[in-house]
Amino acid sequence: MAGRFAEYLPESKLKELRDIANAIVSPGKGILAADESVATIGKRFKSINLENTEENRRNYRQLLFSSDRCLAKYISGVILFHDTVYQKMDDGTPLISLLQERGIIPGIKVDKGVVPLAGTHGEGTTQGLDGLNERCAQYKRDGCHFAKWRCVLKIQEHTPSYQAMMENANVLARYAVICQQNGIVPIVEPEVLPDGNHDLFVGQRVSEEVLSFVYKALADHHVYLEGTLLKPNMVTAGQSCSQKFTKEQNAVATIQTLQRTVPPAVPGVVFLSGGMSELDATLNLDAINKAKMKKPWALSFSFGRALQASVIQTWQGNSDNILAAQCELLKLAKATSLGKFDGKLELAAEAKLAELRDIANAIVAPGKGILAADETTIGKRFDSEHIANTEENRRRYRELLFSADRIISKYISGVILFHDTERSIIPGIKVDKGIKPLAGTRGENTTQGLDDLAERCADYKKRGCHFAKWRCALKITEHTPSYLAMLENANVLARYANGIVPIVEPEVLPDGKHDLYTAQRVTEEVLAFQYKALADHHVYLEGTLLKPNMVTAGHNCPCTFSLEQNAVATVQTLQRRVPAAVPGITFLSGGMSEVDATKNLNAINQSSLKKPWALTFSFGRALQASVIKIWSGREENVPAAQYELIKLCKANSEAALGTFSGDLETSAGAQSLFIANHVY
């Protein structure tokens, strides 16, 4: 397992990448994209009747980079073309040295342009991977600390195709990992062109699909997301669309797209201007930053034309106009910096989606979680206390749970297989039909129950159930989980996730002797498959919840890890794989003792790491072991057992807020609730 998940970069390199990426997206700063090829800048010079010579190109770059020092208040980095890296000022100072002296980070365009993609209808891919490692090493020595690689996709009746999205995503991922190996932060640019007559909705869906491919590819290539930046298009309608959309509508579509596809581990998003006018690009960026929506990334700019069109027009190739042109650049850079314009945002949502979203958010209300009263495992719990597993005993036990003092609704928002709206507790239902062997694997599994699921969910909804649970289980061994098992279980969960609010549960079992690092990498891999599948199946993420394992070492691991180490591994895993659109994470207890489950949840919520989701619990054994132990099937023990249940619920409610004191004495206490190969 160590070989499979060996770190390819030391911590010092990861920190360097992280620091560079965060510096580029410092508040109120963005990137000046001055990486125009010789041919592209020639087109701009042509508009002012200026000859496209090397000296004129040098003069223009000198104009840009020698602007007043206050430019660094608005510009954090500049993307350079290869030739510019080696050009000098009139006094012999290298242009790249001038940028560094002014506190502006130099970057470099490393792709070699778009070429036709064989097997497609006029689509393209981007070349430049040959020799990229050597070029990046040289650029790093020459002072470049970030890079840009652009892929382009176009919306037409039959494009972008699966092949084009997959190919461009993998090219971007290969570029990104090569950059990182050389200490260069990769800016990942999968541009969906604005050409066409498609409306805003189509632009949004295609952008979401493209980005889902990109982040699955980055996961597959083990790219360190904390040391990357994304450079996407703002989501807009096609330029030939007859319907007009406001900048507020564009902002909502753009942020929803990012929420659904871009992991919170990414430090920042630097938008390209995509052919917008200088004013429109600035207004749209301003509307995005003013929108009252969840945005766990810095949102800034990486503009080329939208920062330079007026500069070139003012300059006209005349040295007498340099100061005026530089003033124009400063004015544009300042305007594009955050917060200049006023805007009003109006949000509207289709009723069904709003219902799903409202239910999901209610389940993960602050300080509340789920009681997983899963009947299929109750027999095993009864056996531990020598209670006969009869229908009558099961009924009596459920009555005990569900008739506890009404105060329980302060801590419990939902119960699986429970219906009691009178107590403001949302009823949910387990809809899978258990785990079965997965053919073609070494003892791995999938989960059955898709047959007639649509009809069953419709019936459950009529009966008052508003959310559902479906569990898949994957196990860490030398050869598992396999690609097939991760793909199959991810797609099963995605197919299930329709109709009522789905709790998506891809559990990585705690069996084994693997360490914390291996558990983290496997869980990240499983979740990468999961969110790509949910995107492929067009699942509305705002109306879902995730029920994962907390990341811990295997039950038989000889090493001991602290609560804080588990918390960091868990939150990092979520940051790298779970889109911010997901309202909440309801952790399973995974065989932990009641005390350990509560303490681990509390440590996760106390962590200072970025957490754009509610983080709470969906515990079964860790809320019921002591309850069953005290009850023991005896009627006279019901009040004491109910008191124990409320005590456990209260402790986990506090843990969901990060305020648990650590004082919890229960009947089962620190007793491990681990069950080997717990598939059901």
pLDDT digits (tens, 9 = 90+) for 118-150: 999 999 999 999 999 999 999 999 999 999 999
- Residue 340's pLDDT band (boundaries 50, 70, 90)? very low
CB atoms closer than 10 angstroms to residue 8: 10
User: Pairing state of beta strands 114-116 and 124-126?
Assistant: antiparallel
How far apart CA 297 and CA 94 sit, in angstroms, is 34
Instruction: Classify residue 628: in a domain, yes or no.
Output: yes
pLDDT at 205 over 70: yes
Q: Are residues 434 and 305 in the same domain?
A: no
Which pLDDT belongs to residue 147?
Answer: 99
Residue type for position 430: K
How far apart CA 361 and CA 376 sit, in angstroms, is 27
CB atoms closer than 10 angstroms to residue 343: 16
Instruction: Classify residue 2: in a domain, yes or no.
Output: no
pLDDT at 2 over 60: no
Which pLDDT belongs to residue 508?
Answer: 96
Of 30-39, 334-343, 514-523, 609-618, where does mean pLDDT reach its minimum? 334-343
How far apart CA 466 and CA 427 sit, in angstroms, is 6
Q: Are residues 103 and 182 in the same domain?
A: yes
How far apart CA 27 and CA 24 sit, in angstroms, is 9
Q: Taking residues 332-352, what's their average pLDDT? A: 54
Q: Are residues 385 and 533 in the same domain?
A: yes
Q: Are residues 452 and 567 in the same domain?
A: yes
Q: Are residues 648 and 504 in the same domain?
A: yes
CA 501 and chain centroid, separation: 20
pLDDT at 290 over 80: yes
Q: What percent of the chain has pLDDT over 70?
A: 93
Q: Are residues 330 and 436 in the same domain?
A: no
pLDDT at 89 over 80: yes
pLDDT at 4 over 70: no
Q: Are residues 134 and 283 in the same domain?
A: yes
Which pLDDT belongs to residue 378?
Answer: 76
Which of 339, 373, 403 lies at the terminal end of a domain, its last residue? 339
Which pLDDT belongs to residue 343?
Answer: 35
Residue with tokens 């007026």: 310
pLDDT at 304 over 80: yes
CA 112 and chain centroid, separation: 29
pLDDT at 499 over 80: no
Instruction: Classify residue 128: in a domain, yes or no.
Output: yes
Q: Taking residues 418-436, what's their average pLDDT? A: 73
Task: Kindly report whether the peptide bond that precedes residue 160 is cis, defined as omega within 30 degrees of 0.
Answer: yes
Classify residue 104 by its DSSP letter.
-
Token output for 3 = 């070989």
Token output for 490 = 């991810």
Residue type for position 479: H
Q: What percent of the chain has pLDDT over 90?
A: 81
Residue with tokens 């409306």: 199
Global confidence as pTM: 0.89
Which pLDDT belongs to residue 354?
Answer: 86
Beta-bridged to residue 301, according to DSSP, are 271
Instruction: Classify residue 666: in a domain, yes or no.
Output: no
* CATH code for the domain in which residue 620 is found: 3.20.20.70
Q: Are residues 447 and 562 in the same domain?
A: yes
CB atoms closer than 10 angstroms to residue 12: 8
pLDDT at 263 over 80: yes
- CA angle, residues 69, 73, 76, in degrees to nearest 5: 100
The number of C-alpha atoms within 13 Å of 627 and in the hemisphere containing its C-beta is: 28
SS3 292: coil
How far apart CA 52 and CA 54 sit, in angstroms, is 7
Burial letters for 611-642: b for 16+ Cβ neighbours within 10 Å, e otherwise?
A: bbbbbbbbbbbbbbbbbbbbbeeeeebbeebb
Which pLDDT belongs to residue 673?
Answer: 62
Q: Which domain holds residue 504?
A: 381-657
- Residue 668's pLDDT band (boundaries 50, 70, 90)? low
Which of 305, 339, 373 lies at the terminal end of a domain, its last residue? 339
Instruction: Classify residue 374: in a domain, yes or no.
Output: no
Total number of domains in the chain: 2
Which pLDDT belongs to residue 648?
Answer: 94
Residue type for position 408: I
Those residues whose C-beta lies under 8 Å from the C-beta of residue 323, and which sit 6 or more positions away, are none
Beta-bridged to residue 504, according to DSSP, are 470, 546
pLDDT at 339 over 50: no
* Burial class of residue 562, CB neighbours in 10 A (0-12, 13-18, 19+): exposed
Task: Kindly report whether the peptide bond that precedes residue 437 is cis, defined as omega within 30 degrees of 0.
Answer: no
How far apart CA 381 and CA 628 sit, in angstroms, is 7
Instruction: Classify residue 350: in a domain, yes or no.
Output: no
- Which is the catalytic residue, given 189, 191, 208, 524? 189
pLDDT at 342 over 60: no
pLDDT at 444 over 50: yes
> Between 638-657 and 391-402, two packed helices, what is the crossing angle to 10 degrees?
50
Contact 18, 227 (CB under 8 A): yes
Contact 581, 264 (CB under 8 A): no
Q: Are residues 296 and 432 in the same domain?
A: no
Instruction: Classify residue 45: in a domain, yes or no.
Output: yes
Classify residue 469 by its DSSP letter.
E
Q: pLDDT tens digits for 349-399?
A: 356 788 899 999 999 999 999 999 866 667 777 887 899 999 899 889 989
User: Pairing state of beta strands 412-416 and 30-34?
Assistant: unpaired
Q: Are residues 126 and 188 in the same domain?
A: yes
Which pLDDT belongs to residue 570?
Answer: 99
Tell me the DSSP string of 384-451. Answer: HTT----HHHHHHHHHHHHTS-GGGGGTEEEEET--BGGGTBEEEEE----EEE-TTSSS-EEE---T
pLDDT at 338 over 60: no
Query: Among this protein's residues, is 564 annotated catalytic?
Result: no
pLDDT at 348 over 50: no
Query: Among this protein's residues, is 231 annotated catalytic?
Result: yes
How far apart CA 652 and CA 619 sit, in angstroms, is 9
How far apart CA 381 and CA 519 sit, in angstroms, is 27
Q: Taking residues 75-103, what's their average pLDDT? A: 96
Contact 74, 300 (CB under 8 A): no
How far apart CA 547 and CA 414 sit, in angstroms, is 13
Q: Are residues 495 and 598 in the same domain?
A: yes
- Residue 663's pLDDT band (boundaries 50, 70, 90)? confident
Instruction: Classify residue 344: in a domain, yes or no.
Output: no
Contact 77, 106 (CB under 8 A): yes
Work out the mean pLDDT of the chain and round it to a whole number: 91
Q: Are residues 428 and 319 in the same domain?
A: no
- Which is the catalytic residue, given 148, 154, 216, 231? 231
End-to-end CA distance of the chain: 26
Contact 427, 465 (CB under 8 A): yes
Of 258-262, 345-349, 611-615, where does mean pLDDT reach its minimum? 345-349
Tell me the DSSP string of 600-665. Answer: HHHHHHH--S---SEEEEEESHHHHHHHHHHHTT-GGGHHHHHHHHHHHHHHHHHHHHT---S---
